[in-house]
């Protein structure tokens, strides 16, 4: 069993706190104001270049061209997410922000089953999260010390609750969550309290769907108790603080992403090894590896039937994102896979559709990262096995009674997946 906890520990990615004196600023003329703004942009451009180098240099050569295009796109996605979640973040005037912006903006091994939201908060305030919880398979709220844009101050989970251990989060319920540093003395029986640290912190909400076509999305609102109106205007101090969050995020998460991808690539070629992702989906065992598939090959990934509350698997590319998952078969969960008579699940990865269930679309690239999540396991999960076979001999390696999928059935499957993006509100910003 491989433990990569030290490599992925957030302690490894804390940037040096900026202690430099402020540069002079002259707002008495257009030229002076523009010079100040250019100076801020220069800091961002430097971080963009740092991020791109981490995203492009040193990865498998076969996919260098497509990886370069995807690195440029991923940089813009990170900037979009960083702006929405951190630059716009206001402790006294909070808002829920998509952790990926939209379904096409993905951040750090996002699960295609999960609709993520985040908000940066501060322990000096008390917040309320209220609304309909929806009916997704797993609903989880976590609070963390510090901010994910820089990890300065130490990043660790402070509070966590989900529908498995919290009756108030049962499917179909209206919820009322209090987030504060001190537990309220008047907390009601239907309310849930999640602790915040004294200082700056962050909340993450995860909605994991097993059935993409019937489970309902949540409808939630985050407010700050005794909010002061109107919200304060930007000052030089608050503007620079917010802008720096974006600059820091590009650097820190380029390093974090690099470590994550290296962890996948370090997995043995014949199996998907156990992997530790600190601060991720609480209660989850991660298995992360990689596969290499050429056009004339098929890769079979075999997993023993999981004994857990929920599980899923996805292919990602070298930007640690599952690509255009709404238009390609890159992921499956416990409700979507075909189980064989022996209880195992066998995935087939290839460039062309073999007309089989559990197919991974590898077309267009050779190297793919593989990520399994097993939530609330009841017994230890064995590592998934990987085997590469000639595509022409695939029939010799699958069971004779494995169902066949026609082109028309595959088209219908893909159209339904696309519709589910809207159903589950993944298209919202």
The reported pLDDT for the residue numbered 421 is: 93
Residue 27 lies in a domain: no
Residue 343 lies in a domain: yes
Mean pLDDT of 151-158: 91
On the question of pLDDT at 313 being above 80, the answer is yes
- Look at residue 319 and tell me whether its pLDDT is greater than 60: yes
Q: What pLDDT shows up at residue 101? A: 66
Range of the domain at 283: 260-423
Give residue 105's pLDDT: 84
What are 6's two structure tokens?
A: 């030290």
The pLDDT value given to residue 17: 61
User: Into how many domains does the chain fold?
Assistant: 1
d(CA 203, CA 85): 11
The CATH number for 348's domain is 2.60.120.1600
146 belongs to a structural domain: no
Question: Helix, strand or coil for residue 233?
Answer: coil
Rounded CA-CA distance 388/271 in Å is 11
Three-state secondary-structure class, residue 351: coil
Q: Alpha-carbon distance 48 to 339, whole Å?
A: 44
The predicted pLDDT at position 102 comes to 73
pLDDT, residue 24, reads: 85
pLDDT at 113: 96
Q: How confident is the model at residue 3 (pLDDT cuts 50, 70, 90)?
A: very low
Question: In this predicted structure, what is the pLDDT of residue 59?
Answer: 96
Residue 43 domain-assigned? Answer: no
Residue 373 lies in a domain: yes
State the pLDDT confidence band at 281, using cuts at 50, 70 and 90. confident
Residue 348: inside a domain: yes
Residue 415 lies in a domain: yes
**Model pLDDT for residues 372-381, shown as the tens digit of each residue:** 999 999 999 9
Backbone torsion region of residue 172, taken as left when φ is above 0, otherwise alpha when ψ lies between -120 and 50, otherwise beta:
left
Residue 89 pLDDT: 94
pLDDT value, residue 21: 74
- Give the confidence band of 4 by pLDDT, cuts at 50, 70, 90: very low
pLDDT digits (tens, 9 = 90+) for 16-46: 566 667 878 999 999 999 999 999 999 999 9
Which of 371, 297, 279, 386 is CA-nearest to residue 333? 371
pLDDT value at position 120?
97
Asked if residue 428 has pLDDT above 90, the reply is no
What is the DSSP track for 170-218? -TT-EEEEEEESS--TT--TT-EEEE--SSEEEEEEEEE-S-TTTPPPP
pLDDT band at residue 369 using 50, 70 and 90 as cut-offs? very high
Which pLDDT tens digit goes with each residue over 190-237?
A: 999 999 999 999 999 999 999 999 999 999 999 999 999 999 999 999
Average pLDDT across the chain, whole number: 93
pTM of the model: 0.94
- For residue 364, being part of any structural domain is answered with yes
């Amino acid at each position: 069993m491989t433990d990569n906890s030290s490599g992925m520990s957030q302690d490894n990615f804390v940037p040096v706190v900026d202690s430099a004196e402020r540069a002079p600023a002259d707002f008495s003329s257009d030229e002076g104001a523009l010079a100040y703004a250019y100076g801020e942009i220069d800091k961002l451009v430097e971080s963009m270049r740092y991020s791109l180098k981490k995203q492009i240099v040193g990865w498998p050569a076969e996919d260098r061209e497509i990886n370069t295009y995807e690195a440029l796109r991923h940089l813009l996605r990170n900037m979009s997410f960083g702006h929405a979640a951190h630059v716009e973040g206001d402790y006294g005037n909070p808002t829920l922000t998509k952790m990926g912006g939209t379904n096409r903006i993905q951040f750090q091994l996002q699960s295609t089953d999960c609709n993520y939201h985040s908000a940066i908060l501060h322990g000096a305030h008390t917040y309320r999260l209220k609304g309909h919880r929806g009916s997704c398979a797993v609903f989880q709220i976590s609070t963390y010390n510090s901010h994910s844009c820089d990890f300065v101050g130490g990043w660790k989970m402070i509070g966590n609750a989900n529908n498995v251990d919290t009756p108030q989060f049962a499917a179909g319920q209206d919820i009322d969550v209090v987030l504060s540093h001190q537990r309220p003395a008047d907390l009601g029986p239907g309310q849930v309290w999640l602790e915040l640290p004294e200082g700056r912190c962050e909340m993450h909400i995860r909605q994991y769907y097993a059935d993409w076509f019937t489970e309902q999305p949540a409808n939630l609102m985050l407010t700050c108790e005794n909010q002061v109106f109107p919200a304060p205007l930007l000052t030089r101090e608050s503007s620079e603080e917010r802008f720096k969050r974006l600059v820091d995020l590009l650097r820190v998460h380029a390093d974090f992403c690099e470590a994550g991808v290296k962890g996948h690539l370090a997995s043995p070629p014949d199996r998907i090894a156990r992997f530790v992702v600190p601060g991720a989906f609480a209660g989850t065992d991660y298995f992360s590896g990689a596969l290499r598939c050429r056009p004339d090959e098929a890769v079979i990934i075999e997993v023993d039937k999981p004994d857990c509350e929920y599980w899923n698997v996805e292919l990602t590319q070298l930007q640690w994102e599952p690509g255009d998952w709404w238009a390609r078969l890159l992921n499956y969960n416990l409700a979507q896979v075909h189980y064989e008579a022996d209880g195992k699940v066998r995935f087939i990865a290839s460039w062309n559709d073999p007309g089989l269930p559990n197919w991974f679309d590898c077309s267009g690239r050779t190297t793919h990262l593989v990520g399994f999540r097993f939530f609330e396991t009841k017994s230890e999960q064995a590592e998934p096995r990987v085997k590469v076979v000639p595509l022409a001999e695939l029939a010799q390696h699958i069971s004779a009674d494995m169902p066949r999928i026609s082109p028309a059935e595959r088209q219908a499957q893909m159209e339904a997946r696309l519709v589910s993006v809207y159903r589950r509100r993944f298209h919202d910003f």
